[in-house]
């Protein structure tokens, strides 16, 4: 069972990020959301492992939690 890889794997992360931006440019929020839904499904299938997807969901959710101010 593979684990979710969180180290960068992209040769050119800026270009990949830019591809996502371009895909959404000019779309309404509704169309963007529809596009993202399709992308998520396609990528989930490509990953092909339920446990990896589950880890990705957990990471995404974790990043939505409010950041605790560092108390020292």
Partner 1 sequence: MGRIMNTRKILYQYGYHRCPDQDRASPARHSVIIVGAGPVGLCTAIDLAQRRIPVVLLDDADRIGEGSRGICYAKRTLEILDRLGVGNLCLEKGVTWKVGKVFQGNDLLYAFDLLPEDGHKMPAFINLQQYYLEHALVERAAALPNLEIRWCNKVVDLKHRNDGATLTVETPEGTYKFDTDWVVAADGARSPLRGMLGLAFQGEAFEDRFLIADVKMKGNFPPERWFWFDPPFHEGHSALLHKQPDDVWRIDLQLGRDANVKAEQAPERVIPRLRQMLGHDNFSLEWVSVYTFQCRRLERFVHGRVVFVGDAAHQVSPFGARGANSGIQDADNLAWKLAIVLKGEAPESLIESYNLERSAAADENIGHSTRSTDFIAPRSAQELRFRDATLALARHASFAKRMVNSGRLSMPSTYDTPLSTPDADSWSGSARLGAPLPDAPLHDQNGRPIWLLDAIGGEETILHVPNGTQPPKGSRVLVIGSDLFDNQGFFAQRFDASPGSTYLVRPDQHLAARWRHGTPSLLESASRRLRGFEGGHA
Binding site for partner 1 (CB under 8 A): 33-34, 37-38, 40-42, 45
Residue ranges of the alpha helices (H) in 4-62?
A: 13-24, 29-47, 50-62
Closer by beta carbon to partner 1, 41 or else 58: 41
Closer by beta carbon to partner 1, 18 or else 23: 23
Q: Rounded CA gap, 17 and 19, in Å?
A: 5
Closer by beta carbon to partner 1, 37 or else 54: 37
Q: Rounded CA gap, 45 and 42, in Å?
A: 5
Give the nearest distance from C-beta 32 to partner 1 in angstroms: 10
């Amino acid at each position: 069972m593979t684990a979710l890889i969180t180290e960068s794997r992209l040769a050119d992360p800026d270009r990949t990020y830019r591809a996502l931006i371009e895909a959404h440019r000019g779309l309404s929020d509704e169309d963007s959301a529809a596009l993202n839904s399709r992308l998520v499904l396609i990528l989930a299938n490509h990953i092909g492992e339920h446990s990896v997807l589950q880890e990705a969901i957990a990471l995404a959710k974790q990043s939505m939690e409010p950041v605790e101010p560092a108390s020292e």
